[in-house]
Amino acid sequence: MMKATGQQGLLVGTVAAALLAAGLAAAQSIPGYPEHVSEYDPREVVMLPEYCKYTQLFRERVPGGNDREMIERWQSMLGDVFMHMHHYCWGLMHLHRAKVLARDAQARAFNFDRAVVEFDYVIDRSPRDFVLLPEILTKKGEALLGLGKAARALSELERAIVLKPDYWPPYAHLSDHYRANGQTAKARQILEKGLERSNGAKALQRRLQELHNESAKVGDKRPPQ
């Protein structure tokens, strides 16, 4: 077999790169939506927290985002990390695509993975006392669960609880995971701890009642705490 010339090798490399790009585009394809979240489809932007449209890059493309007073207001509330928060907003968009918009496993996995990357960008630049860090860690844990990376997910959810014990969402995700894997005693324990610390969050109450109802069907008459 003849060896490829330099020019032939370049052509092969170019074709391979084009095929790879096409494959990546197909992997993240969401029917009826732009290829990239950075095209700021209004249907996706409206699902985001209010501050997102005032973050870097968003403010240049989203109507009303280039409001100096609002930018300064959020900057004062969120501090220096605000300059990185567009990555968190992109991560939320990818998470929504994975959970709601994706139509196949490949697209879901791609968007869960991109969400983790964007969340990590902000986590790595956040001080331990950053007010939104427990929320971002929880969203990362949710995305990791979507990828089937349970050990990493549980670690991030538990880290969120350590940082803010009265924040109920990580307890919900932990209990859902244990419940789905048949570890109902562990799920109940997590919920009871979360209810004690969160002043009786309704989302946790509902989950504990559901566990009680399931247990009652198999003869466990223990009342919900």
Q: Over the chain, what HEC string results?
A: CCCCCHHHHHHHHHHHHHHHHHHHHHHHCCCCCCCCHHHCCHHHHCCCCHHHHHCCCHHHHCCCCCCHHHHHHHHHHHHHHHHHHHHHHHHHHHHHHHHHHCCCHHHHHHHHHHHHHHHHHHHCCCCCCCCCHHHHHHHHHHHHHHCCCHHHHHHHHHHHHHHCCCCCHHHHHHHHHHHHCCCHHHHHHHHHHHHHHCCCCHHHHHHHHHHHHHHHHCCCCCCCC
Residue 99 lies in a domain: yes
pLDDT in tens, 53-90: 999 999 999 999 999 999 999 999 999 999 999 999 99
Residues 153 and 198 in one domain: no
pTM, rounded to two decimals: 0.84
Give the model confidence (pLDDT) of 150-194 as tens digits: 999 999 999 999 999 999 999 999 999 999 999 999 999 999 999
Domain housing 199:
165-225
Pair 194, 156 in one domain = no
Provide the number of structural domains found in the chain: 2
Q: Same domain, yes or no, for 127 and 58?
A: yes
pLDDT tens string 96-145: 999 999 999 999 999 999 999 999 999 999 999 999 999 999 999 999 99
